[in-house]
Amino acid sequence: MFIIYLVNLLFYFSMCGFFLNYYYYLKSLMMIEFLMVSIFVILLLGVFGVCDYIIYILILSVCEGILGVLMVVLICRTWSVDGYFLIDYSF
């Protein structure tokens, strides 16, 4: 199941101008969030022990923070470049 998510994630990253098109960046970010929430649910169901669970929760929160900072940086960069055209429909 995770292989399908990873393949879709790689497709979104490799196609459609990841850093140039806010719409596809947002789709990629949503795919990453979905993958992380899926991992979180599996960990919540007790696949790993308590120590591993705490470690993976910390890793998950760090990744979420990095994604949030990346999203803010890219949105601010896009706003500074073209003002209000955040979504490029010229694909």
Residue 35 inside a domain? The answer is: yes
CA-derived radius of gyration, the chain: 16
Residue 77 inside a domain? The answer is: yes
Determine contact, residues 31/6, Cβ cutoff 8 Å.
no
Structural domain tally of the chain? 1
Q: What pLDDT does 66 receive? A: 75
Residue 21 inside a domain? The answer is: yes
CATH number for the domain spanning 39: value is: 1.10.287
Cα gap 14→21, rounded to integer Å: 12
Q: What pLDDT does 21 receive? A: 59
Residue 87 inside a domain? The answer is: no
Q: What pLDDT does 43 receive? A: 67
Q: Average pLDDT of each block of 10 consecutive residues along the chain (91 residues)?
A: 58 53 64 71 64 69 73 63 53 53
Residue 14 inside a domain? The answer is: yes
Range of 42's domain? 1-82
30's CB contacts (< 8 A; 6+ apart) are none
Residue 12 inside a domain? The answer is: yes
Secondary structure element (H or E) that encloses residue 50, with its range: helix 50-82
Q: What pLDDT does 25 receive? A: 63
Determine contact, residues 29/67, Cβ cutoff 8 Å.
yes
